[in-house]
Amino acid sequence: MVAGPVPPFRSGIADQTARLARAFTALGEPPLVVTFRRMYPRFLYPGSEERGEGPFPDGLEVRPLLSGLSPWSFRSAAREIAEAAPSAIFVAWWTSFFAPHVRLLLARLEQQTKAPRILLCHNLVDHEGGRVRKALSRGVLRAADALAVQNAEAAEEARRLAPRALVAVVPHPSEPPAHAVSRSAARRALSLPEAAPLFLFTGLLRPYKGWDVLAEAFARLRVSRPDALLAFAGEPWGEARAFTERPPEGVLGDAAYLPAERRTLWLSAADAVVCPYRHATGSGIAADALAYGRPVLGTRVPGLVDVIEDGVSGLLVPPEDPRALEAALSRFLEEDLGSRLAEGARAAHARFTPGAHARALLDLASRVRVSR
């Protein structure tokens, strides 16, 4: 059983929940997917819409039982989950807003089933949070049997926050596109010049992702490389809206939450993906870049250093350092590193397939059962 958002809810976590459910199905373990009717109160969601058009993913048994407006919906959902007699229960965890909800779910499941209760920790604590949020998160983490985290540093923190839980590092998986698009075809579809170097930032434009650091670094790069282009392709939050409405020279804006087909075009058209994060526990964008054979130019934060090998599948620089990031962008172009790093990206992708990710989680569930 898997609990979490799935498309048409708009987030990388929703995409990953559906990806995991499909991977379990491919391994002969088709899960019940318990998802949301509604996630956030409107005033807490700074994007345009939390849910897009369309149905839930095909080929999965999806039940929309959860509401972010009602922690009790999680408690009542536990009954249906237990009645399905799951062999293991995987619950997406990423923000303390859902701490009361998930605590109720885990407590009820502990009473109603012996199945291992495993949190899929996209974040251990909120990206932007203080002591209260950390305390709320700690309570949830300690209520689970096991925690699946995305990097080694997060594993150390998880063991401090929840010393009785089993902890495993299970990096974010990458999945190649269902329908490949060549670089040339993608550029034609996006009306982009064939020869121009193109760097891509994609995903939500949020402060912790360092989009502003990249904007400054790229402005410096354009002095020496006026032919270079930078695309911000994703939904802007907060101050990023004003920037994408009036982008500077050389910056392209596709300021909206991107459906899968359009995200495929941008990833196929780009020469490299830039992840200038201030901090991150994992990165679905970096995983997608590897799946498309695109190098990642990013920062030395836990969510990237465990996935991107500096000089092999990308280039890594210190976070919040626009001069260092500019130097990496310039080096990528001047040393013509695209082909070599793309080869490394394709090789790295083989280590992070959805099937390997699903098998690691099933192994973690088995370890919980053995440890009891």
Using CA of residue 101, residue 103, residue 106, residue 107, what is the dihedral sign?
Answer: negative
Query: Tokens representing 161?
Result: 């926050």
User: What is the tens place of the pLDDT at every residue in 192-211?
Assistant: 999 999 999 998 888 889 99
Share of the chain above pLDDT 70, in %: 98
What whole-number distance in Å separates Cα of residue 259 and Cα of residue 42? 22
Pick among 3.30.590.20, 2.60.120.10, 3.40.50.2000, 3.40.1190.10: CATH of 2-173+353-371: 3.40.50.2000
Coil, strand or helix at 238: coil
Q: What integer best gives the mean pLDDT of the chain?
A: 92
What whole-number distance in Å separates Cα of residue 163 and Cα of residue 146? 10
Query: Tokens representing 120?
Result: 């899929």
Low-confidence ranges of the chain (pLDDT < 50): none
**To 10 degrees, what angle do helices 12-26 and 354-371 make?**
80
Give the pLDDT of residue 157. Answer: 94
Superfamily of domain 183-349: Glycogen Phosphorylase B; (3.40.50.2000)
Query: Tokens representing 289?
Result: 């870049």
Whole-model pTM: value is 0.84
**2-173+353-371 and 183-349 share one CATH topology?**
yes
CA distances from 127 to 120, 166, 281, 324 (A): 16, 23, 9, 23
User: What is the tens place of the pLDDT at every residue in 247-279?
Assistant: 999 999 898 888 888 999 999 999 999 999 998
Torsion of CA 90, 95, 100, 105, to 10 degrees: -10
Domain boundaries, the chain: 2-173+353-371, 183-349
Could you say which DSSP state residue 195 is in?
Answer: S
